[in-house]
Structure 1
Amino acid sequence: MTYCLGILVKDGLVIAADSRTNAGVDYISSYRKLFDFSNPGERVILLCSSGNLSITQAVVHQLNQDIKRDCEPNLHSLPTLYDVARYLGDKIRTLQEADRAWLAKDKIDFQCSFLIGGQVRGEAPELFLVYSQGNCIKATPETPFLQIGETKYGKPILDRTLGFDVPLDAVAKCALLSIDSTMRSNLSVGPPIHMVLYQTDSFEVRHRAQFQAGDPYLIKMRKHWEVALREASASMPDISWNQDGTMPPLGIADLGET
């Protein structure tokens, strides 16, 4: 399992991913899940992967080969990021179909998904989630983030802290905090964490970060968040309890009986 997320706001885009891959409790390894296919000055294309590792690696390899061989289409020739997302979906379907029978024979899950975000010159920045079936959805100002992999532990932080007008530096902190909180609750998500920040209309990636286990900033951030949560919890208004100290009687309907 893994956890990747992309966040699209007014000022740009943040994409982050962990690197843990596991095939059981006794086999855990790390593989990079965040890839940069940018053509600086013309377009920025950032990709995150989750799911069956052999399929996702084959997809990434094929995308690279198409660029190197100047095949049509490729990530550097398509006119919009939506076209890029559909092209990626076609690659997923083709490679899954090639291996489907053999993987299904041994009951191996061949599902995968991708996040792809960036900006093509002449277009606004965009962020898409491409499903295993090849179809896709797009981030919007109302829903500025997309996730793949182990999403549930990191989502509440994003729901409570993000908005389309949040500055990029704050967005990056939210993204890192979301991944760290997921690592705290699920051992299938782990470092190193890779993160990229892209500023709208810059057409190059100027901000990258990698956080290993025990990274000083990661430890400082985690401690700050935990202290802030405890202080916020302790300072919440008191609960208004039933003043006479008695519980109202339970009726049959309350017990779910008929």
Structure 2
Amino acid sequence: MTYCVGLALRAGFVLLSDTRTNAGLDNIATYRKMFTFEDPGDRVIAIMTAGSLSITQTVMSRLDDANSDPDSADAILRAPTMLKVAEIIGRMLSDVTAEVSAKMDRMSQGASASMIVAGQRSGGPMRLFLVYPEGNFIEATEDTPFLQIGEHKYGKPILDRVITMDTSLEDAEKAVLLSMDSTLRSNLSVGMPLDMVVIEADAMAVSRRRRIEADDKGFARISQEWSEALREAFQKIKPV
């Protein structure tokens, strides 16, 4: 399994994913789940994936091929809008899911995947989508400016409480890291290292990119401080 979270704020995007993939307790591996596409000055697109590797890797390979083919109608780096980008990825994800599922069904197995797509094209708004296995999608809004895929339930409470469209990028980075920390503590199927990408509004390029390893001192510090703050707050609350 995995955990990926994306925030769409007035100041920009903050995206975070883990890298653990497992097919049972004795078959754990590390795979990148964060992918970025850039045409600096024109557009920037980030994709995070969760679910069957056979599906997500095929989709990402087909997207790469389409971008390299000048005649392809599926090139997300040439799509006129971010809505069209989401439609292309949704259709491709649906097609690949159907292909893989047909093979898996013969062995009484199943496979599915979902994706978070964030990006901005020059002259257009920032948009954040969650694309489902069937190819349909939803979009982040001012009421709910974040989207999650994978093991999302453990990291959602802090986002519900602190994230608004006006949250600063600095606070947003802290929030997604604490959201991931809560997930790491509660679910063994999510694991280090982590990939974080920050895209400032109207930058049309990735502003910051960071790989967070298991021995990262900064991540360890905020994890410890968060635990201490929760314990202190708990002790201060009076019983009902």
Q: TM-score range by the shorter chain?
A: over 0.9
Q: Which residue of 2 aligns with 1:13?
A: 13
The 1-side partners of 2:80 and 2:69 are apart by: 18
Note if contact 1:158-1:175 (Cα within 8 Å) is conserved in structure 2: yes
For 2:18, the aligned partner's letter is D
Shift, 1:73, TM fit: 3.1
Matching residue of 1:247: none
The residue matched to 2:223 in structure 1 has which SS? helix
Residues 146-165 of structure 1 mapped to structure 2, 5 A cutoff: 146-165=147-166
User: Does residue 209 of the first structure (1) align with residue 210 of the second (2)?
Assistant: yes
| Runs (5+) with no aligned partner, structure 1 | 241-258
- Asked if structure 2 preserves the Cα contact closer than 8 Å seen for 1:13 and 1:199, the reply is yes
Identity %: 42
> For residues 52-87 of structure 1, what are the alpha-carbon distances to aligned partners after superposition, in whole Å with 9 as ceiling and x for unaligned?
110000000000000011212311111111110010
2:2 corresponds in structure 1 to: 2
One-letter code aligned to 1:60: M
Match of 1:256 in 2: none
* TM-score, normalization by structure 1: 0.90
Q: Which residue of 1 aligns with 2:176?
A: 175
SS of the residue 1:217 aligns to: helix
Query: 1:218 offset after TM fit, Å?
Result: 1.1
C-alpha distance in 2, partners of 1:166/1:40?
25
Contact 1:52 1:109 in 2 (8 A): no
Give the SS at the match of 1:37: strand
Give the CA deviation at 1:37.
1.1
Could you list the structure 1 runs, at least 4 aligned residues long, displaced by more than 3 angstroms after superposition.
none
The structural deviation recorded for 1:190 is 0.3
Whether the 8 Å CA contact 2:101–2:110 is kept in 1: the answer is no
Q: Give the alignment's Cα RMSD to 1 decimal.
A: 1.0
Match of 1:62 in 2: 62
- Aligned position for 1:77: 78
Which residue of structure 1 lines up, in the alignment, with residue 120 of structure 2?
119
Say which one has the larger Rg: 1
The runs of 5 or more residues in structure 2 that have no matched partner are: none
Matches of 2:37 and 2:106 in 1, distance apart?
34
Alignment partners' CA distance in 2, 1:175 and 1:113: 19
Is the 1:85–1:130 Cα contact (8 Å) retained in structure 2?
yes
Query: C-alpha distance in 1, partners of 2:197/2:132?
Result: 22
Please tell me the residue identity of whatever aligns with 1:190: G
Determine the C-alpha separation between the residues in 2 that align with 1:2 and 1:128: 18
Task: Supply the AA of the counterpart residue of 2:98.
Answer: E
AA of the residue aligned to 2:131: V
- Distance in 2, matches of 1:218 and 1:206, equals 20
Any idea what the Cα deviations from partners look like across 1:12-45, whole Å, max 9, x if unmatched?
A: 1111100000000111001000000121110010
Report the counterpart of residue 89 of structure 1 in structure 2. 90
- Corresponding position of 1:252: none
| TM-score of the pair, normalised by structure 2 | 0.97
Aligned residue pairs, count? 239
Secondary structure at 1:50's aligned position in 2?
A: strand
